[in-house]
Amino acid sequence: MTTSSRAIALAVAAAVLACIAGVLAGSSGFGLASADIMASIRVPRVLAGFGAGAALAVSGALMQLLTRNALADPYVLGVAGGAAVGALGAMLVAAAIGVQLSEWGVAGGAAIGAAAASALLFGLLWRRFASTATSAGGDGAAALLLVGVMIGSGCSALVSLILTLADEGQLRGMVFWLLGDLNGATHWEIVWIALAIALGVVWPTARELDWLARGDAWAATLGVPVGRRRRTVLLAAALATGAAVATAGAIGFVGLVVPHALRRLGVRAAPVLLPASAIAGGAFVVAVDAVARTIVAPLQLPVGVLAAAIGVPSFIAMLLARPAHAR
């Protein structure tokens, strides 16, 4: 077995175990619950968590390839920032006009915010990507990073503004949403559809992403339509990120750590890295959520907090273990 197929087998096994643990874990402790609770709460929550984790990890892998930066994640797009503004804005407006907001309302606000941020991103980058790749023309990686980071910064200022305007009662819900929260996440279908579309659009030409990561001009000499490919991949990443954040809030570190860890395990080629990221990212979020629900039961921790608590030290360990560059 090759290193990458061994890593994929490992990810699949982890995903199966995580899903079993996720279904068995509840705020009432480990074990089987009544069929009703299983069907209406636990299984949808596992599906939502898996879909969100998979979408974030795929989006992270795509963003790292597009920006040639191992530190890029789904949030450098600014799309998640837009989703946060939309979700919190919906909560704020609903409270101001005295409407009881359903979970759909928050997710809808997040989706609208993500779409608006994506539209802004594409509006600013479209022409940049439209020019054909030349060895002298520089390339799209740096522009993409800068524009995405700027949109993200603008959104985080808006989020701070909304948090300032919100009253005490709303603040808790908002902060939980920002941390990434699967509590009450039952609408898992949308993120799975978004994930399927994103992978379906990107995967058939995934090998070209490895060429693009080596340089736009070199990829162009191999026959890659550079501008078109960059736009498609960016659209897929924005869709996956927006759907994941609307479903489960801004869960951090999945998109950054999962592709990174897979590369270290020997999964390098994009055609294998992308599906492997989906499986491992889903497994990671489901497993973390199972722990988040049970570790201080009956209290539930936001899954994003625990993901960061696990993600930060493991990421630092990975960086320190990285061999020094010889050049």
Partner 1 sequence: MSVDAASLDAVSRSTRGAAATLLEAKALSLRAGGAERNRVLFAGLDLRVAAGERWVVVGPNGAGKSSLLAALAGVFAIAAGSVRIDGVELADWAPSALAERRAWSPQFWSDPFPATVRETAALAHRRDAGWRSALDRRGAPEVERILDRLLLDALADSDVQTLSGGERQRVALATALLQGAPLLLLDEPASHLDLAHERLLVEVLLAHAAAGGAVVASVHDLDLAWDLASHVVLIDGSGGVVAGRRDEVLVADRLGTVFGVAIHAIEVAGARRFVVAPDAAARSGG
CA 238 – CA 115 distance, rounded (Å):
8
Q: Is 215 in the site for partner 1 (CB under 8 A)?
A: yes
Q: Is 233 in the site for partner 1 (CB under 8 A)?
A: no
Name the one range near partner 1 by CB under 8 A: 32-40, 50-58, 214-222, 298-306.
214-222
Q: Is 200 in the site for partner 1 (CB under 8 A)?
A: no
Comparison of 122 and 203: residue with beta carbon closer to partner 1: 203
Q: Report which residue type is found at 114.
A: A
Comparison of 40 and 134: residue with beta carbon closer to partner 1: 134
**Half-sphere exposure of residue 201: CA atoms within 13 angstroms, side-chain side:** 22
Q: Is 327 in the site for partner 1 (CB under 8 A)?
A: yes
Name every residue whose Cβ is closer than 8 Å to that of residue 76 and which is 6 or more positions away in sequence. 63, 67, 145, 148, 149, 152
**Within 10 Å of residue 56's Cβ, how many Cβ atoms?**
38
Residue 313 preceded by cis peptide, ω within 30: no
The tokens for 168 are 């005490």
Residue given tokens 């068995």 in the structure block: 24
Q: Report which residue type is found at 3.
A: T
117 within 8 A of 79, measured Cβ to Cβ: yes
Binding mask 246-265 toward partner 1 (x if CB under 8 A, else -) reads: -----------------xx-
Compute how many residues bind partner 1; rule: CB under 8 A: 38
Q: What is the DSSP letter of 38?
A: I
Q: How far is the CB of 191 from partner 1 (least distance, A)?
A: 24
Q: Report DSSP letters for 177-238, one per residue.
A: HHH---TT----HHHHHHHHHHHHHHGGGHHHHHHHTT-HHHHHHTT--HHHHHHHHHHHHH
Q: How far is the CB of 317 from partner 1 (least distance, A)?
A: 16
Q: Is 218 in the site for partner 1 (CB under 8 A)?
A: yes
Q: How far is the CB of 66 from partner 1 (least distance, A)?
A: 11
Q: How far is the CB of 280 from partner 1 (least distance, A)?
A: 16
Comparison of 158 and 267: residue with beta carbon closer to partner 1: 267
Q: Is 207 in the site for partner 1 (CB under 8 A)?
A: yes
Comparison of 243 and 267: residue with beta carbon closer to partner 1: 267
250 within 8 A of 180, measured Cβ to Cβ: yes
Residue given tokens 């491992």 in the structure block: 280
Q: How far is the CB of 275 from partner 1 (least distance, A)?
A: 9
- Binding residues (CB under 8 A) for partner 1: these are 2, 4-5, 64, 68-70, 133-137, 206-207, 210-211, 213-215, 217-218, 220-225, 263-264, 268-269, 271-272, 323-327
